[in-house]
Amino acid sequence: MVPARRAIQGAEAVLKADGVLLYPTDTTYAMGVRLSSRRAFEKLCHLRQVSPEKNLFSVFLPSVGAIGSYALGIDTPTYRLLKRLWPGLYTVILRAGPAIPRHLWHRYTIGFRVTEHPIVSALLEAIGEPIVTASVPQEKLPAYEKLVEGFLDAGPLPERRTTVIDLSEGLGNLRLLRAGDGDVTIIDPWLQEKTSSETTLL
């Protein structure tokens, strides 16, 4: 799926104008906004009817190497594990670093993702900063399409879920919060606790 240049340029304009973009990812459709835009983030929360105090948001990064700028506690062993997980179907929860804007600091932790999905990669390159994202069920696309400023339509997607790993308390306290489509055997050597409870990750 190679994104059309004109479509990416239109999506870039939406994001840079503090708009909310509906776009395809490697798991499902999602609403996305620029990390630095508080106005757009508040709009996203309103549209998805979620609270930043109660819900954990995730952020798409352009590469594994970018994590050191946005999260705390990234020592060498943690970074090596992240390089095994990413790019891939994993959301990793880490402590927010100083480059994360204050409007995302409600929980002091945030989910991070790195993917090779061509549209996500093209958007990240176009806007030059991470994208805050919240998933959208495909059956709700027609309703949300009318409410957002931009929509990149890639047709029906095979919906998948990320495996959610909590590393906010360090590699020694790694926790599996959700077993999704990312292979959990990678983290078996570090796994301290498994839980079947679902997170409120968006």
Domain ranges of the chain: 5-76+91-158
Residues 83-112 have pLDDT tens digits of 999 999 999 999 999 999 989 877 789 999
For 70-90, what is the mean pLDDT? 97
Q: What gap in Å lies between CA 31 and CA 17, rounded to an integer?
A: 15
CA dist list (Å): 143 to 33, 133, 137: 18, 18, 11
- State the pLDDT at residue 200: 60
pTM of the model: 0.92
> Quick one: which of 32, 161, 33, 20 has its CA closest to 90?
161
CATH homologous superfamily, domain 5-76+91-158: DHBP synthase (3.90.870.10)
- State the pLDDT at residue 2: 66
